[in-house]
Amino acid sequence: MITLHHLNKSRSKRIIWLLEELKVNYQIKAYQRDSQSNLAPAELRAIHPLGKSPVIEIDGSVLAESGAIIEYLAQAYASDTLVPSKDSAQYKEYLQWLHFAESSAALPLLLHYFLKIDGAKTNFLDGYAKQEVSLVLGYLNDHMADKHWILGESFSAADIMMSFIIEMAFALELLGDYPNLAKYLQEMHQRPGAQKAMALEHQYDETVTG
């Protein structure tokens, strides 16, 4: 049994989506962000020293980092469907997108988000974040011009990694200038696994009412 330590409104939704695609047995242990600091509760530190989510427990091991979790689970349970064959050219591309999502793409969007909630004037950061957001989203938008999924016709675990980026860009109201990414988000949300992940995320989020 896989246990997912899930924090509301977090990257952990990626893992729920993947687990739904894999159709494996798993359980969710849910945590709520602090209403003032927005940080994870201290109990998550008992699971992993960083105290962040997602974290999974599997076969007696504890694994953090959404990218590592997705790479491991996809390879272990769906190497023939959600991961291109290791000797194909697509595999290299797959690895690039898998890692791009949490590295090059995540930082500018997070900076943009933090600057927005902070509201303070900056000397350098604001301009840097804007420029990097345009670079990253422009690159992705051009790439998606003639594709359904990040690798072309086949859906892969890299699309699940990318979902957090596209959803964050949507939440920051940035997708107006990137129509191919708006279309990509719609495609993602049509998959039953993504819909189940959204429903579960909702169910385990105590800030959601009604």
Ligand X SMILES: N[C@@H](CCC(=O)N[C@@H](CS)C(=O)NCC(=O)O)C(=O)O
Cis status of the peptide bond prior to 192, with omega within 30 of 0: no
Tell me the H-state helices in 8-124.
12-22, 66-78, 89-102, 106-118
Helix (H) or strand (E) holding 172: none
Minimum gap (Å) between residue 43 Cβ and ligand X: 11
Tell me the H-state helices in the chain.
12-22, 66-78, 89-102, 106-118, 125-143, 157-171, 179-190, 192-203
Q: Which is nearer to ligand X, 10 or 141 (CB)?
A: 10
Minimum gap (Å) between residue 39 Cβ and ligand X: 3
Q: Which is nearer to ligand X, 51 or 108 (CB)?
A: 51
Q: Which is nearer to ligand X, 82 or 101 (CB)?
A: 101
List, in sequence order, every residue forming a beta bridge with 7; answer none if it has no partner: 31
Minimum gap (Å) between residue 85 Cβ and ligand X: 26
Residue 169 class from Cβ within 10 Å (0-12 exposed, 13-18 middle, 19+ buried)? buried
Minimum gap (Å) between residue 38 Cβ and ligand X: 7
Minimum gap (Å) between residue 153 Cβ and ligand X: 27
Distance between alpha carbon 159 and the CA centroid of its chain, in Å? 9
Question: Which positions lie near ligand X, rule CB under 6 A?
Answer: 7, 10-11, 39-40, 51-54, 65-67, 102
Minimum gap (Å) between residue 7 Cβ and ligand X: 5
CA distances for 124 relative to 49, 106, 131, 136, 156, angstroms: 32, 19, 11, 18, 37
Q: Which is nearer to ligand X, 11 or 133 (CB)?
A: 11
Q: Which is nearer to ligand X, 86 or 116 (CB)?
A: 116
Nearest-angstrom CA–CA distance, 70 and 53: 13
The amino acid at 106: A
Q: Which is nearer to ligand X, 89 or 117 (CB)?
A: 117
